[in-house]
Homo-oligomer: A and B are copies of this chain.
Amino acid sequence: MYIVGIVSHKGKRSSFMRTLYHHWLIPECRKIRIILAEKKLEFKLVLENTWSQRDAFLALNPAGQVPVLEDVGLNVLADSNAISEYLEEAYPEHCLIKGDLLQRAEIRRLNGWFDHKFNQEVTQCIVFEKIFKRFHGKAHPDTQIIRLGLQNLNNHLSYINWLVERRHWLAGDEFSLADITAASHLSAVDYLGHVSWDKHIEAKEWYARVKSRPSFRGILNDTIPGIICSAHYRDLDF
């Protein structure tokens, strides 16, 4: 575990100790980083290698998973959905689950789609297989599973195409948690260079818009020791 650095959205280091325990390639951690940045909340990042099962970390979250957020007042929050709902309630400015009842339900439906369906069918098959499997003491990556993940990815990109042919953002007229969650998962796969953007033009155009938001800069500037990002990962005009 080490401190990656203070992330400040006012361009200065500060003693503010809001802390996010994370790992770079876990999409749920990327999501909370982007939400915090959208809400202009300062935080520091602490890298947590969850597979080492540190006692002090398990005391924060018995599930042993990142993200975990230590907010002001030493409030400790675990579970990415609980954290994102908490941040909406605690910091309602720059709202990310907005609109009427049905609009909010649509944002949460798509949030669930990417955190569960996309996660299981794509992220786990590609990012877990290629990167995390070895840390958990398991066998080498299974190329059949990776191939399946890539096929599934194309189906999900087609679904994003379908959505953004009908809407400006994934869940409707406004940028929302749905865009953040989808882009968090896609960006982890994109870091490894596995997204065929040129076959999915509408999805690419949508992702370019997400990528150009200031809240996404931290994610794009990640340099992960031992894992080189794809040539276009940081490129806003990819």
Q: Top 9 closest A-B pairs, CB basis?
A: A82-B108, A79-B112, A79-B109, A82-B109, A86-B105, A82-B105, A77-B105, A78-B109, A81-B112
A113 lies within 8 A of B77 (CB)? no
Cβ of A1 within 8 Å of any chain B Cβ, yes or no, is no
Q: A81-B112, A82-B108, A86-B105 are in contact. List 9 more A-B contacts (CB 8 A).
A: A63-B113, A75-B105, A77-B109, A81-B81, A82-B109, A83-B105, A86-B101, A86-B104, A90-B101
Chain B residues with CB below 8 A from A101, complex form: 75, 86, 89-90
How distant is the Cα of A89 from the Cα of B108 in the complex, in angstroms?
Answer: 13
Distance in Å: Cβ of A53 to nearest Cβ of chain B = 14
Contact B102 A75 (CB under 8 A): yes
Taken together as a complex, chains A and B put the C-alpha atoms of A82 and B113 apart, in Å, by 10
Q: Which of A65, A101, A104 is packed against the most chain B CB atoms within 10 Å?
A: A101
Identify which of residues 136-180 in chain A touch chain B, using a CB-to-CB cut-off of 8 Å: 159
Is the Cβ of A62 less than 8 Å from the Cβ of B159?
yes
Interface string of A109-128 (1 = CB under 8 A from B): 10111001100000000000
Shortest Cβ gap from A35 to chain B (Å) = 14
Residue of B nearest to A83 (CB): B105
Q: Which residues of the other chain, B, contact A235 by a CB distance below 8 angstroms? A: none
Chain B residues positioned under 8 Å from A106 (CB to CB)? 82
* B-chain residues with CB within 8 Å of residue A111 when the two chains form the complex: 81-82
Give the nearest-CB partner of A62 in chain B.
Answer: B159
Is B102 in contact with A81, judged by CB distance below 8 angstroms?
A: no
Partner of A85, one of B78, B79, B104: B104
